[in-house]
Structure 1
Amino acid sequence: MSDVSAASNSLVVDGNGRVRFSGLGSGIDFNSAVNAIMEARRIPVDRLEAQVESGTAKLDALSDLRTLMTNLRTSLDDLYGRQTLGNSGDIFENKSTFASTSRQDGGSASNAANLIGVAVTNAAETGSNEIEIDQIARAQRIGSLTFASTTDDLGTASGGAAGSIAGSFDINGTTITVDATDSLLAVRDRINAANSGADATGVRASVVSVNDNEHVLVLTAEETGTNITLDNETGGVLSELGISNDGGATLLNELQSPRTAQFYANGLLDQDKWHSQRLTADAALSTFGVGGGPFSFEIRDASDTLLGTVNYSGTDSVTDLANAINAVAGVSASVVTSGGATRLEITGDGGQTINLSGDTGSAIEDLGLTNRQLIERSSNTISDLFAGVTLTLFGAEPGTTIRVEVERDLNAVKTAVSGFVTAYNELKIFMNQQQLANADTGEATEEAGPLFRNPTLGSIEQTLSNVLGNGAEGTSSAFTVLAQVGIDFVNNDAIADPLLRDTLDINETELDEALLNNVGEIERLFAFDFSSSDPRVQLLGFTGATTYDANGYTVNIGNYGSANEVSGEANSETATLNDGTDSVGATTSGSFDINGVSIAYDVTTDTLDSLADAINAAGINGVAARVVDGDGGGKQLSITSNQDPLVVDNDTGDLLGALALTTEDYLVGSANVGGAGDGSDDGTATASGRVITVTDQNGAEGLRLLYNGTGDASNIEVNFTIGVGAKLFFELDQMLDSESGSLQAEIDSLTSQNRAAQTRADEMIERLDYQRERLLERFIVMEQSLARMNSVLDQIREITNAGNSDN
């Protein structure tokens, strides 16, 4: 029997799931031996797996780096000067506003918030504007007679016979049918149902219940300052409703007349027109404070020549005063009643300037006669008075001046700048953590990140440092680097935490002072700031390749011409061209050229439609023609070009004269930067429509300009400065580019290395598994052979022992 103890045996499970004990026959623990052999052979696999693990950690860190860099770029979105509609993306153009009130007559002015609401966009100009609200707009309201019930049919509810009210009427052109069985609520619902869709009436109906037995139908215009049109009555419905006895022309119960908003702005004067304040009625002048008399005042022209003297007394009415004024040659006066108010209006004939002066009484003062420009709008929401400013009128208070101040929103700028500093510091702290090194050995500490001494990280860090260190280009020497406005690097010698090295710190006092006194310089310090010697040239965009030049750049524009020619209107696009009633009335056939390509026509057979087809069939580069609807309801031939200026000439007949083509749009034919003054194309710029883009043949590569002129132009000087924010934004943008950026290249390289290492490791593991199985099989065969030999040896021993015992 074998003397191998069980303690030295080990359990072995081979690749086929067979269970054996190692060393039963030989006393050798071959499972441990195989493990030792395979561990030695697995060392290259361990190295590859460690490489994959390290690469994965680096990829995770690069992903974090990309997120932090993206955050920093995002923090610059509103700071670097990107071009957006109405400057909406430029934080330096953010505006804030507040309003205050005052009076000159010693009276008490209402709070501004009770009179006006103000909203501004970045397009608003900084400064102050003054408003005086004379009256606010209001909607027209019309009431019916009183009905005893809201649910009975109208005849019964009005005290008449059941079903006695039936017919129809139009509201703003839409027919409302009233059935004999309709109740007051049913009529309300019919009117409101018509106030929907594309042809909505713009009138809503409601029922006002005064008490249980008194109910009134009320029609309200949804737009202020407009009349509700009621007409085309049948069945006497409007009369039965108590709204109108003459089909809608005269209202029986107008609860509120329509009224426009009227106000004064910025002291604007109407030199040929004077008007009074709103008067309660055409009453005696004494009603408004004029007492006694006789009095007089003078009317003079712009050269102070006396046009005439107006005599009046307190017993005269406003109309009497108007008649007295009309007696003066060159002057006209009238009493105007609108929106429930009366005004005296005085104008100079032919638009001549007039002045009222020398009043011996008080009519000018008491009537509030002034030549201030009275501005009217149909709505109380006014967005077309001052650019970028929307006013909402809440109340009228004649004599109260509302001052609306518009300023840059410095808090928004400071918030954006602080956001940039925070994003930069978060990125810098991450970079510092990756680079933590032992001060004595220079080797990575245990706290160092997986990107220790990574060349891409080092390159990114150096690029950011260079941008901040070099500062802005072209700006004032006092505003070149961030430190000059209170944004400086921390003192590394004064900090204990190595992660904070080279981060930024804000001196709030210095930054606030710079914002208050030099916000324009701070804008140039951060942003791309553009200027042009010709206001018709505007900036559309720029790139990181757009290079500052202290001498600026010269833009020349040539071959400027028509992009769109439109004919006069005709009644029909299918009538022949010689039809003088329905078409253009040409008389002579022939041909004309479009950009040098001949278009033949026959006025007796061709139409506007076929002429457009012929132009399109000619295949003229960039040219297209079509028949369009004109503003006057007729048909027009439209010829457009999107590449070259449109030249239509050389007519051998009389069609072009009959078409009466007019230019509706223009485009730039060619342009250059620093080239010939005629704007000829030399490769330095391309033109598309009105947009000029500078090419890589010039330092201003990527500069995109919009030209709003109407002809060729030369020697237009354009200049720009490039701020730190703009430079940093485009550096980040380039490094973060998903196709060509350095960060993506590093990620792609590491990903490829990891993939290759993992593939090699997987292949080696597969081979090692195979080798392990073979080794185990060999040891098992050896173990089996030894077991058989031991068995034979045991038999021999038994035979020998048996023989010895016989002796």
Structure 2
Amino acid sequence: MAVNGVGSGLDVASLVQQLVSAERGPADARLDRTDRRLKAEISALGTLRSAFSSLKSAAATLASRESSLARKATVPEGSGFVATAGTSAALGRYQVEVRTLASAHKLTSAAHASADAAVGTGRLTIVSGGTTIEVDVDPGANSLSSIRDAINAKAAGKGVSATLVRADDGHHLVLTATETGTSNALRITASGGDGGLAALAYDPPAASTMVSRDATDALIRIDGMDRTSASNTITDALAGVTLTLTKAEPGTVRELSIGSDTAAQKNAAKNFVNAFNASVASIATHTAYNTSTGVAAALNGDAMVRGVSRDMRELVSSNVSDLKAAGITINKDGTLKLDEAAFDAAIAKDPQLAARLFGSEPSSLAKRIEAMFDTVLASDGALTARSEGLDRRTRTLTKERADLDLRMKAVETRYRAQFTALDTLMTRLNSSMTFLQQQLGL
């Protein structure tokens, strides 16, 4: 516990504190300056990493097939089909005629007096395409409605669905294949029981009381060539193109056009330009020097950042002609500017321009920028190495502060011991002086 000198009247605690503070001050100031500089550099590198990561991601998206080879399918309004095109679709025009739609097989039973009318017992085996279900009908659960429920429970939405329709002549059990096309037509056989389920059997060419609305296949004609399908969604008639048939128009030919989707390409290009400009701005901010105040930004003069900035400029400069042709110009400060109207016109005129600039080939601008920042941001890249260096310096700074604390404790202990000894000495001198004064009668 610190106390004032009892004999000397010296304020030992205050003196020690002042001397320790004076000795510690220069070291603290140096460490504080280093701490501020390290924090500023760490923050700046974090901002650059974020900007570079966004640019790498934007370049990767731009170079992806989904962007560089984006396709758009166009059909006249009111056509009997709609179309979508993937990146593997070839550019071109096709004459398409929807002759028939695919439909599902439907079977309707004879009329029954009520939904509770007993039909029979035994087993129904229902086949549709590759799906087979077996439904056991027991006494007490053999009414029309019970059979409907048993079929739906067993099928669970696959192969067949059962409903009841109440018509003027009575109640009918209606069975519908869940999949369209002739290959999914229903076949029903009855076995066992009391034989009553035979009324629901349908197994051509055997006779049946079930009324059939036969399944049909879709039929389209593309450039004079026929293509049938069990489904109204056709994915393999044209590579990369999905046709969804909605209406049969026999004799009516519609034109399907597959072109480049400039909207998708333009959106990816806009995101790339914005990310590139954000990286340029971030570099400029963190390497700036204010001539008025003489203050330099945290990464002013940093060789690693200068190298990244130089590589970015060289990459875009090497493609300046194609960029200009695509409506992208380079500003004096190194940022890019996208003219959207010029971009649309250029891609429409030369679809391969997008592939040269933004394609998935290693030689495209987008892929080279992606590869460049792959290297910069890699776990063994320049940015990571720089961050690890700052982390080491931060740990060193923490140790220096701890060492300083230990040294100052030792200094404080030494000063306190010296002043305590001085106080003790002065106490003795004061005591001797008092004794002499008393002896001399002073």
- Structure 1 length normalisation: TM-score? 0.50
The 1-side partners of 2:222 and 2:204 are apart by 41
Contact 2:7 2:424 in 1 (8 A): yes
Where does residue 188 of structure 1 map in the other structure? 148
How far residue 139 of structure 1 moved from its aligned partner, in angstroms, is 0.6
Contact 1:229 1:248 in 2 (8 A): no
Contact 2:227 2:237 in 1 (8 A): no
Check if 1:519 corresponds to 2:364. no
Where does residue 465 of structure 1 map in the other structure? 313
**What SS does the aligned partner of 2:256 have?**
strand
Deviations 1:417-453 (A, max 9, x none): 1111100111111111112223479x435xx3x2122
How far residue 481 of structure 1 moved from its aligned partner, in angstroms, is 4.7
- Please give the root-mean-square deviation of Cα atoms over the aligned residues, in Å: 2.8
The 2-side partners of 1:755 and 1:246 are apart by 84
The 1-side partners of 2:122 and 2:212 are apart by 24
**What SS does the aligned partner of 1:415 have?**
helix
**What SS does the aligned partner of 2:334 have?**
coil
Contact 1:444 1:452 in 2 (8 A): no
Tell me the matched-pair count.
433
The 1-side partners of 2:106 and 2:360 are apart by 54
Check if 1:233 corresponds to 2:74. no
Where does residue 71 of structure 1 map in the other structure? 54
How far residue 66 of structure 1 moved from its aligned partner, in angstroms, is 0.9
More contact order relative to length (CA 8 Å, sep ≥ 6): 2
**What SS does the aligned partner of 1:732 have?**
helix
Q: Looking at CA atoms only, which structure, 1 or 2, has the larger radius of gyration?
A: 1
The 2-side partners of 1:764 and 1:433 are apart by 35
Deviations 1:701-725 (A, max 9, x none): xxxxxxxxxxxxxxxxxxxxx2322
Where does residue 388 of structure 1 map in the other structure? 240
Where does residue 205 of structure 1 map in the other structure? 162
Where does residue 97 of structure 2 map in the other structure? 132
Where does residue 456 of structure 1 map in the other structure? 304
Check if 1:444 corresponds to 2:427. no
The 1-side partners of 2:388 and 2:52 are apart by 17
The 2-side partners of 1:227 and 1:258 are apart by 6
How far residue 406 of structure 1 moved from its aligned partner, in angstroms, is 1.2
How far residue 788 of structure 1 moved from its aligned partner, in angstroms, is 4.6
Gaps of 5+ in 2: none
Contact 1:527 1:726 in 2 (8 A): yes
Higher strand share: 1
Higher helix share: 2
Which of 170, 173, 188 aligns to 1:217? It is 173
Task: Rate the CA distance shift 1:381–1:513 in 2: closer, same or farther, 3 A.
Answer: closer
The 1-side partners of 2:103 and 2:329 are apart by 57
Contact 1:238 1:247 in 2 (8 A): no
Task: Rate the CA distance shift 1:485–1:133 in 2: closer, same or farther, 3 A.
Answer: closer
Deviations 1:539-570 (A, max 9, x none): xxx5xxxxxxxxxxxxxxxxxxxxxxxxxxxx
Where does residue 265 of structure 1 map in the other structure? 222
Check if 1:167 corresponds to 2:122. yes
Task: Rate the CA distance shift 1:214–1:37 in 2: closer, same or farther, 3 A.
Answer: farther
Contact 1:49 1:757 in 2 (8 A): no
How far residue 744 of structure 1 moved from its aligned partner, in angstroms, is 1.1
How far residue 789 of structure 1 moved from its aligned partner, in angstroms, is 3.8
Which of 422, 429, 439 aligns to 1:782? It is 422
Which of 50, 65, 75 aligns to 1:99? It is 75
Check if 1:34 corresponds to 2:10. no
Contact 2:104 2:216 in 1 (8 A): yes
- Structure 2 length normalisation: TM-score? 0.88
Which of 82, 86, 91 aligns to 1:121? It is 86
1:129-528 equivalence runs, <5 A:
129-150=94-115, 152=116, 154-155=117-118, 165-172=120-127, 173-182=132-141, 183-196=143-156, 202-210=159-167, 214-225=170-181, 226-234=184-192, 235-239=194-198, 242-244=199-201, 249-254=206-211, 256-268=213-225, 374-439=226-291, 443-444=294-295, 448=297, 450-471=298-319, 480-491=321-332, 501-527=333-359
The 2-side partners of 1:215 and 1:774 are apart by 109
Amino acid at match of 1:193: A
Task: Rate the CA distance shift 1:256–1:794 in 2: closer, same or farther, 3 A.
Answer: farther
The 2-side partners of 1:520 and 1:793 are apart by 107
The 1-side partners of 2:211 and 2:197 are apart by 13
Gaps of 5+ in 1: 1-17, 83-88, 102-110, 159-164, 269-373, 472-478, 492-500, 530-541, 543-721
**What SS does the aligned partner of 1:738 have?**
coil
Contact 1:132 1:263 in 2 (8 A): yes
Deviations 1:470-493 (A, max 9, x none): 23xxxxxxx7452343322324xx
Task: Rate the CA distance shift 1:782–1:217 in 2: closer, same or farther, 3 A.
Answer: farther
